[in-house]
Amino acid sequence: MQSVHLGKVTDIDMMQVQTSTANRLGTAQKAKAVARGASPEKMDEVAKEFEAQFISQMLSNMFAGVETDGPLGGGEAEGTYRSMMIDEYGKLISRAGGIGVADHVKREMLRLQEVE
């Protein structure tokens, strides 16, 4: 079995993971609240927001092993700006049609409205 070196984990890395997790949990809670009597447009907006967070999380794992140290890369600020860039990538992918998660989330919110 090969071991993979992902680099040194810093306090900033841990803070970004905690913020990302809080954002995802907040979006999930928002989806539940919206499902109780919201318009289809609002449900669509929240479902796309949830999908954007999901895609951003997948992309952040993909970028985790990318080393940028060198003459023009690295530094503490790069980690911060990379997370912002990944969040924007997630939003863009979701707006461009996404990967199908938003459709499932919206369908579930509609189902929750029917139950209540």
pTM of the model: 0.62
Residue 69 inside a domain? The answer is no
Mean pLDDT of the region 65-77: 72
Domain containing 56: what range?
11-62+74-115
What is the pLDDT, as a whole number, of residue 9? 44
- Of the pLDDT bands very low, low, confident and very high (cuts 50, 70, 90), residue 75 is confident
Q: Is the pLDDT of residue 95 over 70?
A: yes
Higher pLDDT, 52 or 37: 52
Give the angle 101-25-47 at the CA atoms, nearest 5°: 30
- Of the pLDDT bands very low, low, confident and very high (cuts 50, 70, 90), residue 111 is confident
Q: Is the pLDDT of residue 105 over 50?
A: yes
Residue 55 inside a domain? The answer is yes
Mean pLDDT of the region 91-99: 92
Residue 5 inside a domain? The answer is no
Residue 48 inside a domain? The answer is yes
Number of domains in the chain: 1
Residue 92 inside a domain? The answer is yes
Are 57 and 27 spatial neighbours (Cβ–Cβ below 8 Å)?
Answer: no
Residue 1 inside a domain? The answer is no
Q: Is the pLDDT of residue 104 over 80?
A: yes
Provide the phi-psi class of 81: left if phi over 0, else alpha when psi is between -120 and 50, else beta: alpha
Q: Which range (21-30, 46-55, 87-96) has the least confidence?
A: 21-30
Residue 67 inside a domain? The answer is no
